[in-house]
Amino acid sequence: MEKIKTIFVDDDFLALGILNGYSSMLEEIEVVAQIQNPLKAISILQETKVQLLFLDIHMNNMNGNELLKIINPKPVTVFTTAFTDYALEAFELNAVDYLIKPFSFERFVQAFNKAKEVIRSREHINQSHNENLVSIINDDNRFITIKDDKKLNKIFLKDILFLEGCKEYVKIHTEKGMFLTLDRLKNLENLLPSNEFLRVHKSYIVPICRATQLSGNEIIISNFHIPVSREQKDEIVKKIFG
């Protein structure tokens, strides 16, 4: 099994030493870098393919939450801190765990195992993504072939009402029912023709031709009320309604 490429970011040299010592006892971790300066960490994280990040929150120059908001794509993240004040914001940023200093080796392993499970799940999704394909017969019969459980399903683009992202899955709502596939909404967004399907919210994609009514911050399609991103509402309305 491949080792998990990991970076430690903490402005406390002793804390980095503890993390390094703990990680040396686990064969599955490959420490790519140990960084004290959060500003330097940004450039390294953006230039290096990293799967796992152990990130201190309370640092000089920049806190860990601010750092995580800047980098993209975001590695699976475990926060490490001596403070409990940032816990809520950390989990809002989808951190898989939150270690309070000083933490034991056993607690470190527990956090690593949580992170490993998420990383392996993402790898599985990326592998299965190749099984979801758009096939074109003609303009009226274009379809997506998706894997739903152990079955392959042909979903015609003209039948799609909207797509809904649900963490590691996507629900495809159609005139003939709902299909669930193990994939990311972003992957399906890349498959679908961009001039016909529009991402209107972080969790929703709609066919432009079906989005004929806007009520407040919701698009209504066949009695479904689909939220629209407040930040991008003006741009979305322009693309759909002209």
Kindly give the pairing relationship between strand 29-35 and strand 204-207.
unpaired
**Assigned token pair, 240:** 């759909």
- Domains annotated for the chain, with CATH where assigned, are 4-128 (3.40.50.2300), 134-241 (2.40.50.1020)
- In order along its 242 residues, the chain shows pLDDT tens digits of 589 999 999 999 999 999 999 999 999 999 999 999 988 999 888 888 899 999 998 888 788 888 888 887 789 999 998 877 766 666 667 788 999 999 999 999 999 999 998 887 766 555 544 445 545 444 567 888 887 766 788 888 999 999 999 877 899 999 989 998 888 888 888 888 888 999 999 999 999 999 888 999 999 998 899 999 988 888 898 888 87
Query: Would you report the helix, strand and coil content of the chain in percent, each value rounded to 5?
Result: 35, 35, 30
Beta bridge partners of 69: none
**Assigned token pair, 121:** 């799940």
Residue with token string 């980098």:
71
pTM: 0.54
